[in-house]
Amino acid sequence: MRPSAVAVALLSASRGCSAIALRGRPNTLLNTGTTPRSLLQNVVTWDEHSLFINGERLMIFSGEFHPFRLPVPSLWTDVLEKVKALGLNAVSIYIDWALLEGKPGEFRAEGVFDYDAFLSAAKQVGLYVITRPGPYINAEASGGGFPGWLQRVKGHLRTSDSDYLAATDNYASNIGKIIAKHQITNGGPVILYQPENEYSGAVGVTFPNADYMQYVEDQARKAGIVVPFVSNDASPGGHNAPGTGKGAVDIYGHDGYPLGFDCANPNTWPAGALPTNWHVTHESQSPSTPYTIPEFQGGSFDPWGGWGFDQCYELINHEQERVFYKNNYAAGVTILSLYMIFGGTNWGNLGHPGGYTSYDYAAPIKEDRTLTREKYSELKLEAQFLKVSPGYLTATPGNSSVTGVYSPSTSVSITPLIGTNGSFFVVRHTDYQSTESTSYTLNLPTSAGNIAIPQLRGSLTLGRRDSKIHVTDYPLGDYSLLYSTAEIFTWKKFEDRTVLIVYGGPSEQHELAVKSSAKRWKADSGLTVAAKNGSIVVNWQTTTERRIFQVDDLQVYIVDRNSAYNYWVPDISASSSVIVNGGYLIRSASVSKATLSLRGDFNGTSTIELIGVPKGVSSLTLNGAVLPHVKNAQGNWESTVRYAKPALPIPELAKLDWKYVDSLPEIKAGYDDSRWVTADHKTSNNTVQPLRTPTSLFASDYGFHTGALLYRGHFTASGSEKSLYISTQGGSAFGSSVWLNDTFLGSWTGTDASSAHNATYTLPNLAAGKPYVLTVLIDNMGLDENWVVGPDEMKHPRGILDYELTGSSDSAITWKITGNLGGEDYADKTRGPLNEGGLFVERQGYHLPDPPLRDFAPSGGPTSGLDKPGVAFYAAQLDLALPSETWDIPLSFVFENNTAKAGGAYRAWLYVNGFQFGRYVSNVGPQTVFPVPEGILNYKGSNWIGLAVWALESGGARVPGFTLQAANPVITGRDKVQVVDAPRWQVRRGAY
Ligand SMILES: *[C@@H]1O[C@H](CO)[C@@H](O)[C@H](O)[C@H]1NC(C)=O
Ligand SMILES: *[C@@H]1O[C@H](CO)[C@@H](O)[C@H](O)[C@H]1NC(C)=O
C-alpha cells in the first residue's frame, strides 16, 4: 500500500464517519456467539479468538510475497522455505491483473506467471496461502494492478459502473478458478481469500458501495471460492465488517503502517504513532471474528529520488519489530501478515511511478534473498514463541495504556493478556519512542498470588526501543512456568526431556520460576537458584555464555538474544521437531529410517548442535551428504560444517565484446514510420484528462501502456514557426526529449516531484512549404495507482497532453505513435505485456538473447557513450561458470554514480536475457545496484546483456562505470535453480 497525502486526509475523515456509523449498529452484533455465519465449507472456521483449521485453533502468522516480483519459479521455493524457517505458517500474495490480461479477453498465467505452480510450491513447503487477486491491488504496481486498457473504460473504476465491472469478469473468473483449485478444501494451501483491496475511501462517488463489493465477492464464489473472505481496510474504519449487510466479508481486518515511510529520517520515530486502541476498536467493529491485521508494516517503499532501502531499513528495523509487532500481540492479533516479508524486483516495468526497480521494501528477506538483516532473526524469535504459545490465542487483552498496575514504574506500560493457559504481559516504554534504558520491577498476578519480581535480586531493564513479553502460569508440556521475565524462544517436549530456550538482551537481569517441589536441581555457574512457595526461582544476569538449569527432565537453556538468533526449529512431522543451534539457515529436517536429514545454508564455517534428535536415529546428512557428528555433554549432537569460499570468476563487463546499435533511427532523414499507428482518435474515453489536442495523443488510447513512448508529428512549415510548446506526462521522474528532424530541440531530464512537464523550445528557421517531422521520446514510468475510489487516478494518461506550434495551427500536425510492438497484441508472451517498451531496439527484439549482430557495430560498450543526445543500445554476451549447484551467489549489476564522468543526464534500461531488470535515472536516483537472480542469469552458460542508454543533454552522456558484482556466496540446500525458458531473438515480422 501507499497512501498519498490526499488519501491520508481522506482516511482520517472516513475514520470519523465510521465512528458515527458504529454507534448506530445493532446490539446483536456486539455479543455474537462463536458460531460463524453459514459457511460453504467446514475446514476453515473461526470464533472471536482465532481461526481453526480442521478444528485446530491456530495463529495465522504470514508474510506478503509477490511471485510476480521474482520471475524465477524455481526460486519461489527458496523464499517460501526462508519464510517457513522463521516459524511463520502462511504467505499472503497479491496477483497482478495487468500482467495476466494485457489484452482484453486474453488471460495468460503460464511460465513466470504460473500461479498454479506457485500454489503447488507453497503446499509442498507447507505454508498456507492468503490470496489477494484484486482485481485492484495497489501494491506499488503499475496502475495498482489494473491493465492500461482500463483507461479507456468510461465508468468509475472500483465502483459498480457496468463497463468497469464487465472489464473485470474475464480476469476474475480465470484467476478465481486457479485459486479455487488450490483451496484447502481440495487439498491445497489456500485458506483465505481477500476480495478487493483497501476499499476504504472515496471522493465524489457512493462509498462504501455495497453492490460493488458484493459483485467482487460473487465473482469469486462463481469461480468456486469457498474459503472465508477477509478484508483489509486501510485503517480501522469498520468497512464491510461482518454484519454491515451486502458486501460484508466473513472476517474483518485492517492494515497498519504506523511508523510511516519517512526514510529521510530513519532515526526518528514520529510521536503518537503507536496504536494503543486497536483491541478496543476491534471489539466494537468486529467482535465475533479473530482480530486480523492482513498487512502490517514489514518495511517501507521508497520513491524515485528517495534514500535507498538500506536507509529505510534503519527506520523499519528489528527495533520496530520489537515495539510495534509486540504492540499488535498486546492487542490480541491472531491473523497477522507482514507487508513485505520479501519484496523482490519491479522488473519489466511492472512498478508504478512512485517506485524504482528495486522493491526490496527493507523487508526481513532482502531483494537478493539474503538473510543478513537483524530483523529476520528478531522476527524468528517472535514467531517461534507464538507458535509454541497456544494460550496466547484465547488470552484476553486488557488496557494497553495503563501504568502503575503491573509495575510500580510509570516509565513502562504493561498490557496484560490474561488467559487460562498462560498469561502474557507486554512491556514497553510508556514513551515508546524512548532510546533510554529503563529499570523496572514487576508485580504480576500468578496462581501463587501476586508476586513482586525479581524475587531474588536486582531489577529488570528495558533497553532502547524495546518491548518484551513476560509470561505467567505458562505451560511447558508436563511442566509449567510460574513466570519468566526472560523471553521464550521455544520449548519442546522430546522423548527423554523437555527443553525450554529463553533469552534476554545484553547484560540484562532476568528471573524465571518453574513450578516444582523438587529438592534437587542442576544449575550452571552464574545462576542464582532458590526454592520459594512451590516453585524454583532462577535469577541471572545475561552473558554471551549459554547456561543450563535442570530440574527433573526439564532443561532450561539460558542464552543472550544474539545467541538465540542462531537457533532454528524445523518440524520433522506435524508433531515433532528438532532444535538446531547454528547455521545461516535451516530449511527443513526429515527422518527416514535411522537418518536425520537437514537442508540448510551456511555463510561461514559453523558448528551446529542438534537438540532433540529422535530415538533410533543414528546418522545425519546435510544437503544430501553424510555429516559426521559427536555427542556433547548435554547429549546433543554436534557437527562442523566447513566453508571454503569458492573461486568466483566474475567477468569484467568492460572487457566484454560489446556491440552497438543506434536506437533512435527515428530522427534520421528518410525514416519510414508508415507502419506506426496513426494517432487519429478525435475523442477519448479518458475521463480524467480533457483532450486539448485535435486528436488524442494519450498512449493508452492506442494500446501502449508500458515503457518508452515515441511520437512522430508531421507538418508542412508555414515558415513563420518560432517555437514549440509541448506538455508531456510520464509519471514521477519521467523524462522527455524532442527533435525537429535530426535537430535536438531539448529535453526534460526529470525530477521525482514532476509527473508532467511543460516546455517551450525555440525552433530554427523553417522553410515555408517544406515537410518537417517532430520526434518526441517520453519515458512512461508506469501508470498511477488508484488508491482512492472516484478520482480514477489510474487513468492519468501518458504521452503528449498538449502542444502548440507558433505560427501554425495545431491541426497542421499529423501524429503517429508507437510504444511496444503490437501494443496489447504484445510480441513477447513469455516475458509478459509490460516488459518491452517502444524503443527501436525493443520493437525489433534486439534486447533478447542472440540478437542479429550483422545489424550491430563493434563498440567500446556503455562507458564509451554518446557525444550528443540520443539513444544507444549496447549488447554483449556474458559467459558465466559459477559453482551454483551448492552455492547461492547473489549477483548485481552496478552503475557508477559519477555525474562529472557521465557528462550529462542519462537514463538506462538494463536487459538480462531479454528481461528488463533495471531502470536507472542518473540525475534522480537513488538506485545504482541492480540485483538479478540466478535463473534470469544462467550461471553455467552464456547470457546476453543489453543496456539502452538515453542521453538527454546536448553534450551526450556515457555510463561512468558498469560492473557485475557478487555478494558473499552461501553454501545452500535449496533446490537447483532452473534457468527460465524464454525465447531468443528471431526476426519480428512487421517490426519497424
Ligand atoms: C469508449 O467507451 C465505450 C463505453 O464504455 C466503449 O463502448 C468504447 O469502445 C470505448 N472506446 C474506446 C476507443 O475504447
Ligand atoms: C552470516 O550471516 C549472519 C546472520 O545472517 C551474519 O550476521 C554474518 O555477518 C554473516 N557472515 C558473513 C561472513 O557474511
Question: In what helix (H) or strand (E) does residue 429 lie, and over which residues does it extend?
Answer: strand 423-429
What mean pLDDT is predicted for residues 630-658? 97
Give the pLDDT of residue 565.
98
Beta strands in 781-899 (DSSP E): 799-805, 814-818, 857-858, 870-881, 887-888, 891-895
pLDDT of residue 14: 34
Residue closest via CA to ligand 1's atom 4 equals 154
| Residue 685 beta carbon below 6 angstroms from any ligand 1 atom | yes
Instruction: Tell whether the model's pLDDT for residue 715 goes beyond 90.
Output: yes
pLDDT at 25: 29
Strand pairing of 498-504 and 554-560?
parallel
- Distance, in Å, from the CA atom of 182 to the CA atom of 12, rounded to the nearest integer, reads 38
User: Do residues 788 and 208 lie in contact, with contact meaning Cβ atoms separated by under 8 Å?
Assistant: no
168 pLDDT higher than 80: yes
- For residue 565, the tally of other CB atoms under 10 A from its CB is 18
Q: Which ligand is nearest to the CA of 164?
A: 1
* pLDDT at residue 190 greater than cutoff 60: yes
Cis amide leading into 454 (omega within 30): yes
Omega before 926 cis (within 30°)?
yes
Neighbours of 526 (CB within 10 A): 12
Q: Is 198 assigned a catalytic role?
A: yes
Residue 12: the pLDDT is 36
Pairing mode of beta strands 190-195, 449-453:
unpaired
Phi and psi angles of residue 684, each rounded to the nearest 5 degrees, phi first: -135, 145
Which ligand 2 atom lies nearest to the CA of residue 565? Answer: 4
CA 241 to chain centre: 26
For residue 20, pLDDT over 60 is answered with: no
CA of 454 to the centre of ligand 1 (A): 73
Q: For residue 504, give the nearest of 485, 479, 530 by alpha carbon.
A: 485
Give the mean pLDDT of the chain: 95
Number of other residues whose CB lies within 10 A of the CB of residue 558: 26
Q: Of all atoms in ligand 2, which is nearest to the CA of residue 968?
A: 14
Q: What is the DSSP string of 242-255?
A: TTS-TT--SB-BB-
CB 969 within 8 A of CB 658: no
d(Cα 207, Cα 790) in Å, to the nearest integer? 9
Residue 481 CA to residue 422 CA, distance in Å, equals 9
Q: Are 436 and 464 in contact (CB under 8 A)?
A: yes
* Residues 6+ positions from 692 with CB-CB distance below 8 Å: 727, 801, 802
What does the pLDDT read at residue 769?
A: 97
Confidence of residue 810 (pLDDT cuts 50, 70, 90): confident
Domains belonging to the chain, first-starting first, are: 56-371 (3.20.20.80), 392-583+605-641 (2.102.20.10), 653-661+839-971 (2.60.120.260), 665-818 (2.60.120.260)
- Active-site residue identified among 295, 378, 382, 508: 295
Q: Which helix (H) or strand (E) holds 12?
A: helix 5-23
Looking from the CA of residue 681, the nearest atom of ligand 1 is 13
The burial of 628, by beta-carbon neighbours within 10 Å (0-12 exposed, 13-18 middle, 19 or more buried), is given as exposed
Tens-digit pLDDT profile for residues 434-470:
999 999 999 999 999 999 999 999 999 999 999 999 9
Q: What is the DSSP string of 797-831?
A: --EEEEEEETTS-GGG-EEEEE-STTTTS-S-TTT
Q: Name the nearest CA neighbour of 843 among 731, 710, 698, 701.
A: 710
Pairwise CA distance, residues 68 & 109, whole Å:
11
What's the pLDDT score for residue 954?
96
**How far is residue 605's CA from residue 618's CA, in Å, rounded to a whole number?**
23
Ligand 1 atom closest to Cα of residue 701: 13
Mean pLDDT for the stretch of residues 410-439: 97
Residue 948 C-alpha cell reads as 539502452
29-33, 257-261, 693-697, 736-740: least confident range: 29-33
Residue 716: C-alpha distances to residues 673, 675, 807, 809, 810 (Å): 17, 21, 12, 11, 12
Here the cell at position 784 is 498511477
Among 785, 832, 789, smallest CA distance to 146 is for 785
Q: Is 163 in the pocket of ligand 1 (CB under 6 A)?
A: yes
pLDDT at 250: 97
> Which residues does a 6 A CB cutoff place in the pocket of ligand 2?
371-372, 584, 603-604, 968
E strand or H helix at 213: helix 210-222
DSSP 3-state assignment of 698?
strand
Report how far residue 762's alpha carbon sits from residue 411's, in angstroms, rounded to the nearest whole number.
67
Q: Given pLDDT bands bounded at 50, 70 and 90, which one contains residue 330? A: very high
- Enumerate the β-bridge partners of residue 818: 710
Section 411-433 average pLDDT = 97
| Strand stretches in 441-478, DSSP E | 442-446, 449-453, 460-462, 467-476
Any atom of ligand 1 within 6 Å of the Cβ of 680: no
Mean pLDDT calculated for residue range 513-531: 97
pLDDT at 477: 97
Give the pLDDT confidence score for residue 721 in this predicted structure: 95
pLDDT given at position 229: 98
Give the confidence band of 39 by pLDDT, cuts at 50, 70, 90: confident
To the nearest whole percent, how much of the chain has pLDDT over 90?
95
pLDDT of 18 reads 30
> Is residue 78 pLDDT above 90, yes or no?
yes
Query: Given this model, what pLDDT does residue 1 score?
Result: 43
Angle made by CA atoms 973, 965, 933, in degrees to the nearest 5 = 45
Question: What's the burial of 983, exposed, middle or buried (CB within 10 Å: 0-12/13-18/19+)?
Answer: middle
pLDDT band at 154 (very low <50, low <70, confident <90, very high): very high
* Cα–ligand 2 centroid distance for 609 (angstroms): 18
Residue whose Cα lies nearest atom 10 of ligand 2: it is: 603
* List 81, 198, 378, 508, catalytic entry: 198
Q: Which ligand is nearest to the CA of 602?
A: 2
Stronger pLDDT, 614 or 18, i.e. the higher one: 614
Q: How confident is the model at residue 804 (pLDDT cuts 50, 70, 90)?
A: very high
Report residue 506 CA to chain centroid gap: 31
How much distance in Å is there from the Cα of 303 to the middle of ligand 2? 29
Vertex 990 angle, CA 987 and 992, to 5° = 90
Q: Which ligand is nearest to the CA of 700?
A: 1
> Can you give the pLDDT at residue 10?
40
pLDDT band for position 4 (cuts 50, 70, 90): very low
* Torsion, Cα of 936, 940, 942, 945 (10° steps): 40
Task: Report angle CA 365, 367, 302 to the nearest 5 degrees.
Answer: 105
From atom 11 of ligand 2, which residue's Cα is the shortest distance away?
Answer: 603
How far, in Å, is the centroid of ligand 1 from the Cα of 152?
Answer: 6
| Structure-block grid coordinates of residue 121 | 510450491
Tell me, what DSSP letter sits at residue 602? B
Across 816-835, average pLDDT:
98
Atom of ligand 1 nearest to the CA of 684: 13
Q: Which of 366, 372, 373, 565 to mutate to test the pocket of ligand 2 (most atoms within 8 A of CB)?
A: 372
* pLDDT of 660 strictly over 70: yes
Phi-psi region of 111 (alpha: psi -120 to 50; beta: other; left: phi over 0): left
156 Cβ below 6 A of ligand 1: no
What is the CB neighbour count within 10 angstroms for residue 506? 12
**When comparing pLDDT for 596 and 38, which is higher?**
596
- Please name the helix (run of DSSP H) or strand (run of DSSP E) that holds residue 329, with its range, or none: helix 326-330
Reported as a single tens digit per residue, the pLDDT across 121-149 is 999 999 999 999 999 999 999 999 999 99
Is 140 among the residues known to form the active site? no
Choice from 149, 150, 152 to test ligand 1 binding pocket (greatest atom count within 8 A of CB): 152
Residue 5 has pLDDT above 80, yes or no: no
